[in-house]
Amino acid sequence: MQIYADFSAYSDMAIGLALLLGFRFPENFNSPYASLSITDFWRRWHMTLSRWLRDYLYIPLGGNQRGPGRTYVNLMLTMLLGGLWHGAAWRFVVWGPARAVAGHRASRGAAPAGPGYRPLARHLGLRA
């Protein structure tokens, strides 16, 4: 929760300062902890980074237009670079591909396993 507060706060400050100077920046977080699924959580979390990764890495690599094998490679490369963007430590290098595998499973409609895939808000105690 602290990392969300930190990210969201500095994003909100940047957006507000930009508005004072006449610039309009896109929203970066959309209440991710109110999500009901892990997929929805990632759609709401750090939206500008997600769009940048999609528009400037995933789509230029070919996206999902070159078959399932190439789609998976494109997804892995994009998320690996997203992990490296977060920091040059092994935990971030591992985080990227792990996120790619989880996202790929969710996009294929694979059955989630374990309590970590329960509706996120309920799992975090934010909704009854």
- pLDDT reading at 111 higher than 60: no
Q: Of residues 6 and 73, which shows the higher confidence score?
A: 73
- pLDDT reading at 108 higher than 70: no
Find the catalytic residue in 46, 86, 104, 123: 86
86 belongs to the catalytic site: yes
How many whole angstroms separate alpha carbon 53 and alpha carbon 100? 12
Amino acid identity of residue 43, one-letter, is: R
Q: What is the pLDDT of residue 99?
A: 73
Query: In this prediction, what percent of the chain has a pLDDT beyond 70?
Result: 79
Phi-psi domain of 29 (left: phi exceeds 0; alpha: psi -120 through 50; beta: other): beta
